Amino acid sequence: MTAADRPAPPDVVTFGETMAALRAQGALRLGGSLGLSVAGAESNVAIGLARLGHRVRWAGRVGADELGALVLRTLRAEGVDTGHAVTDDSGRPTGLLLTEPRLGTLTRVSYYRAGSAGSAVSPADVLPALAAGTRILHLTGITPALGPSAAEAVLAAATTAREAGITVCLDVNHRSRLWSADRARTVLIPMLAHVDLLIASEDELPLVQERPDADEPDAVAGLLAAGVGEVVVKRGARGATSHTADGANDRAARQVDAVDLVGAGDAFVGRLSIRTPRRRGRPRPVCTVPSPPRPSPSPPGATGRAFRHGTNSACSTSPTARPSAEPGDRT
Q: Is residue 307 part of a domain?
A: yes
Q: Is residue 4 part of a domain?
A: no
pLDDT at 257: 76
Q: Is residue 297 part of a domain?
A: no
Arithmetic mean of pLDDT over the chain? 82
pLDDT at 299: 32
Number of domains comprising the chain = 1
pLDDT at 104: 74
Q: Is residue 42 part of a domain?
A: yes
11 given a catalytic annotation: no
Task: Round to whole Å and give the CA distance between 211 and 331.
Answer: 28
Residues comprising the chain, all counted: 331
Q: Is residue 79 part of a domain?
A: yes
**Does the structure show a pLDDT above 60 at 165?**
yes
Q: Is residue 221 part of a domain?
A: yes
pLDDT at 2: 58
**Does the structure show a pLDDT above 70 at 320?**
no
Spell out the residues 6+ positions from residue 111 whose beta carbon is closer than 8 angstroms to its own: 19, 95, 96, 97, 98, 177, 329, 330, 331
pLDDT at 5: 62
Q: Are 288 and 273 in contact (CB under 8 A)?
A: yes
Q: Is residue 1 part of a domain?
A: no
Per the model's pLDDT, the better-predicted residue between 79 and 264 turns out to be 79
Q: Is residue 88 part of a domain?
A: yes
The mean pLDDT of 156-162, rounded to a whole number, is 97
**Does the structure show a pLDDT above 50 at 82?**
yes
pLDDT at 236: 85
We report the CATH number of the domain holding residue 140 as 3.40.1190.20
**Residue ranges making up the domain that contains 88:** 9-292+303-328
Spell out the residues 6+ positions from residue 203 whose beta carbon is closer than 8 angstroms to its own: none
Per the model's pLDDT, the better-predicted residue between 298 and 87 turns out to be 87
Active-site entry in 171, 196, 260, 266 = 266
Whether this model's pTM surpasses 0.85? no
